[in-house]
Chain A
Amino acid sequence: MRLDEFVEFERNERAERRRLAQEKDYGVLDHLETFQDRFDDALSGDSLVGSVSPSIFVGRSNYPNVSTGILSPVGREEQAERFRTSGDWYDEGVSIGDVFERRSGLLNSNRTAEVDNVHDAWDGWLGTQREVAIADRPVDVEIGLDSKPDLDVDIDDVGAPVGPRARARDASLGENPHVPRPVEKTLEDDDWRAQGAMTYLYRRGFDVYEINSILSAGALGQGENRRLVPTRWSITAVDDTVGQYLRGTIRDAPSVDSVEVHRNEYLGNAFWVVLAPGEWEYELVEMKAPGSVWNPDPEAGIYLAAAHEGREGRTGYVDETAGAYYAARLGVLEHLSDRGRQAKVLVLRHVSDAYWGPVGVWQVREAVRNAFEGEFGEAETFGEAVRGVADHLPVPLSRLRRKSTMAAGLQTNIADFLG
């Protein structure tokens, strides 16, 4: 499809999606109140909660003495699977309100632990937490609490929101959890470097959501190096590690043949993914509208952020686009690796004011992964693609060129200039 036709086609699709979309949902406070009711019902004695736990959370404040929590959908145990962040949320089409409802319904029972105490902890709090993290389905748990839940929701730009917190005394398993064989293998082999173990699990069909939970619980890596990894860091670490593996798979692959423009939109975030012939190069440019979550001042202009890598990857830390950089890169690399092609890739993310609550970078990952489904636009040159897309961006092309390394110019190589 020609790029201009594609843009028109996309506009119609978008209008339809908007019509179907739910109204913005600001009902987080209502969710927290219903949580309180369910919690009171679930309490046996004055401090013991029996529930199931689909996932864990490790905080990053006060590192290396971190808050380490077991999450449980108190009173909604039969739906526990739905509370676990995964690509299924995209397939299900959850709204921002749905995410907040789910996450605010998860009790984070937590204790403080030193991150490097995890290696030999096979039972007790850390052992129970690890079992939850490595199991492939929600696990029955019984948790002794030290305090009443603190009804609040914490938000983050990388991890999904985290709901009410309560200090815990202890926890025990109500069943012997089911742990997939490859996960057992990585857990038992404490001579295996974490990066290799992550890549192994990915190749065995585990998605990054499962891997980051396992990494976070300190269940991967060489024995003495095993430690709890704050959830936010583990999400980015897994996206980066798996991305590096995938980048390696296309290092010597032929290039895509033409300039392709893919697009997707989800939860108030629009993604344009431009693939152009040439050696791997990647950039994420984010345009955050005033009134959106991370640029809340309605009077502020569009906030621009960008990060870029060439064929050898980055040498420095990505400070402008944080976890979204690696999440979007993973989605792109999965697509290219599947096709056995490499490309120069520019991802443009427009965060509109419809993105009123941060749900975590899973939405970036899934929107980019799914951008490659269906139709795409074709352009003669990368420049034509960028010009064509720029008409639909909230910043003028001139400003995009000044911010974006790739929009300013694509990296050539010396061989391009040999007679």
Chain B
Amino acid sequence: MAAADAEADADAGGATESVDRMTVTVRAEVLQDVVDQLLTIVDEAIFRIGYEGLSVAAVDPANVGMVMLEVEPAAFESVGDGMFPIGLNLERLDDYIGGASGADPVTLSYRPERRSIEIEHTNVEVEMAGIDPDAIRDEPDIPAIDPSVEFETDAGLFVDAVENADLASDHVRFKAVVDDGEVVVIGEGDTDEIKTEISSEDISDGAIKRDAESLFSLNYLISGGMLKPLGSGTDLRVEYSEDHPVKMHYDFADGLGHVTMMLAPRVGTN
């Protein structure tokens, strides 16, 4: 929904967006989580920050992988009273906030007249130039999909299953059969094949409504791909259908930050 809202804002010509200087303050770990997740698919993104919190949506240049992020205003120490959009280079932002950690407050001040933000944390003050949002790839439309398979499991378990597939193959197949009540993550190589079962015991919530198999490129998921920030202890919700994009959701920032990732499948040649 974040992207749809953001798009509506953009369409409205920024009517809800501030042109005055404004300031928000957020904990370093929250901002770092946002940047880490975005960096798995893009180098730059348009942030919308202010009284509604933070939202950002980005799609990789091939339009294959997408990340949408929302941080509720309650996760901020202070949010000001407008919303500002700014395009930022993520590598540089990552470097600039690198010196802050944990609960260190990071203050972001928007300077519309210079299209830049001022970043303050610990003993550091940075002025960072923004990128014209028009020069950044359009935020994606999001396909509506009624998933055949939905399940929630520990992110660490899921990442392990996908990494196992990488041992034998360049792509991973998710397979679920209604009667089996489990999801199998498969790596099929030329000579070897590896299967990791995510059994009903490991699924905290979910439903297999229809049998579904779908194939995905591993390089979008692991080895720096979208699953990179995830580890054990995070609940991950996965939704997919036969030969349709997979959606993966998780929360961060004490439940006040929400991530949705989407990846388009490789579609079989049968």
Contact B264 A417 (CB under 8 A): yes
At the interface, yes or no: A403 with Cβ under 8 Å from chain B?
Answer: yes
- What's the minimum C-beta distance from A320 to chain B, rounded to whole angstroms? 10
| CB of B48 closer than 8 Å to a CB of A | no
Question: How far is the CB of B224 from the nearest CB of chain A, in Å?
Answer: 8
CB atoms of A409 and B265 under 8 A apart: yes
The answer for the CA separation of A407 and B266 in the assembled complex, in Å, is 10
A412–B265 CB distance below 8 A: yes
Within A367-419, which residues are at the interface with B (CB < 8 Å)? 381-383, 386-387, 399, 401-403, 405, 407-419
Q: How far is the CA of A348 from the CA of B46 in the complex (A)?
A: 42
A382 vs B269: C-alpha distance when bound (angstroms): 7
Assess the B141–A418 pair: CB atoms within 8 A: yes
Contacts of A31 in B (CB 8 A): none
Interface size class of A (residues with CB under 8 A): 20 to 34
The 8 Å CB contact of A411, one of B61, B64, B140, B189, is B64
Residue A304 CB within 8 A of the other chain: yes
B268 at interface, CB cutoff 8 A: yes
Instruction: Indicate whether B170 reaches chain A with its CB closer than 8 angstroms.
Output: yes
B150-172 CB contacts (< 8 Å) to partner A: 169-171
Are B265 and A279 within 8 A (Cβ)?
Answer: no
Determine whether B208 belongs to the interface, using a CB cutoff of 8 Å to chain A: no
Proximity bits, B173-195, A CB within 8 Å = 1, else 0: 00000000000000011100100
The answer to whether A417 and B190 have CB atoms under 8 Å apart is no
Least Cβ–Cβ distance between A410 and chain B, in angstroms: 6
From B265, which residue of chain A is reached at the shortest CB distance?
A: A412
Q: Which of A386, A402, A414, A419 contacts B63 (CB 8 A)?
A: A414
Asked if B15 is at the interface of the complex by the 8 Å CB criterion, the answer is no
**Chain B residues within an 8 Å CB radius of A312:** 60-62
CB of B215 to closest CB in A, whole Å = 5
Does B136 touch A at the CB level, under 8 Å?
A: no
- Nearest CB in chain A to that of B241: its residue: A417
Q: Most B CB atoms within 10 A — which of A381, A387, A403?
A: A403
Q: Which residues of B contact A419 (CB under 8 A)?
A: 143-144
Given contacts A402-B188, A405-B171, contact A414 B266 (CB under 8 A): no
Q: Would you list which residues of chain B between 193 and 214 have a CB under 8 Å from chain A?
A: 193
Whether B87 sits at the interface, judged by CB under 8 Å, is no
Is A409 in contact with B140, judged by CB distance below 8 angstroms?
A: no
The reply to whether B171 and A408 form a contact with Cβ atoms under 8 Å apart is yes
Task: Report B43-68 residues with CB < 8 Å from chain A CB.
Answer: 59-64, 66
Are A417 and B145 within 8 A (Cβ)? yes
- Within 8 Å CB of A412, what residues of B? 64, 245, 264-267
Residues of B within 8 A of A308 (CB): 170
Judge whether A417 and B244 touch: CB under 8 Å.
yes
User: Quick check: A409 and B215 within 8 Å, CB to CB?
Assistant: yes
CA–CA, A414 and B220, complex, Å: 13
**Residues A415 and B141 in contact, CB atoms below 8 Å apart:** yes
In the complex, whether B270 has a CB less than 8 A from a CB of chain A is: yes
A405: chain B residues within 8 A (beta carbon): 170-171, 217, 266
In the complex, the chain A residue whose C-beta lies closest to that of B59 is: A414
Q: Which of B205-253 contact A (CB under 8 A)?
A: 215, 217, 219, 244-245
CB-defined contacts of B266 to chain A, threshold 8 Å:
405, 408-412
Tell me the residues in window 306-356 of chain A with beta carbons closer than 8 Å to chain B beta carbons.
Answer: 306, 308, 310-312, 315
B57 to chain A, nearest CB (A): 11
Q: Kindly state the separation between the CA atoms of A74 and B169 in the bound complex, as whole angstroms.
A: 50
Q: Are B61 and A410 in contact (CB under 8 A)?
A: no
Chain A positions within 8 Å of B60 at CB level = 312
Cβ–Cβ contact B269 & A414, under 8 A: no
Evaluate contact between B269 and A279: CB separation under 8 angstroms.
no
- Report B67 CB to chain A, min CB distance, Å: 12
Chain A positions within 8 Å of B, measured between CB atoms, are 279, 304, 306, 308, 310-312, 315, 381-383, 386-387, 399, 401-403, 405, 407-419
Beyond A312-B60, A417-B245, list 6 extra A-B contacts (CB 8 Å): A310-B219, A399-B190, A414-B141, A414-B245, A419-B143, A419-B144
